[in-house]
Amino acid sequence: MLSKKLEKALNNQIRIEAESSQVYLSMASWAEVKGLEGVAGFMYRHSDEERMHMLKLVKYVNERGGHANISDLKAPETEFGTLTKMLQELYDHEVFVSQSINELVHVTLEEKDYATHNFLQWYVAEQLEEEALARTVLDKINLIGNDKGGLYLFDRDIQQLTVESAASDNGGEQF
């Protein structure tokens, strides 16, 4: 049985994952309208992954005798200015989510809930990979700057970019 404190913290993470999915869906739509099909595809996939992160938490909370709450969500921005700004926001958002997971892991230790501590290790590892992936795309776009040809290739190549390939870009290590 989950403690009330941990149940509340897990429900908070459920909302954060759902909001992440919405933010990335909004980025996908913005990129699609701008004609950046590769970026749009990448962000649509990322949005689906965040929904999967949310669902995994929902099922876990309910399995452990809690009640996963599905709440209303903060509306995401609809305009992102430039692709560089959008990718910076993506990176910042992943860093924010990592911090939130860390705090959640801290609560499991306070509550001495080692099953949930163990369950959350998947999220800890996933956040390392997602931060690395966001860092990779941000570094690439910063290199390209305003070069139109570079942007064209970036939009084409990002379709192939996944968490796994970004990890191998970094020498196959999760640092």
Is residue 93 close enough to count as binding Fe ion by CB under 5 A? Answer: no
Q: Which is nearer to Fe ion, 45 or 150 (CB)?
A: 45
Contact 44, 25 (CB under 8 A): yes
Of the candidates 152, 172, 175, the residue with the CA atom closest to the CA atom of residue 164: 172
**Binding residues with Fe ion: total (CB under 5 A):** 4
Part in contact with Fe ion (CB under 5 A); list of ranges 43-51, 59-67, 102-110, 144-152: 43-51
Is residue 53 close enough to count as binding Fe ion by CB under 5 A? Answer: yes
Q: For residues 136-165, which are near Fe ion according to CB under 5 A?
A: none
Part in contact with Fe ion (CB under 5 A); list of ranges 45-53, 55-63, 74-82, 156-164: 45-53
Residues contacting 28, CB < 8 A, separation 6+: 39, 40, 41, 42, 43, 44, 46, 47
Is residue 130 close enough to count as binding Fe ion by CB under 5 A? Answer: yes
Buried b (16+ CB within 10 A) or exposed e, 131-148: bbbbbbbbebbeebeeee
Q: Which is nearer to Fe ion, 50 or 155 (CB)?
A: 50
Contact footprint for Fe ion (CB under 5 A): 17, 50, 53, 130
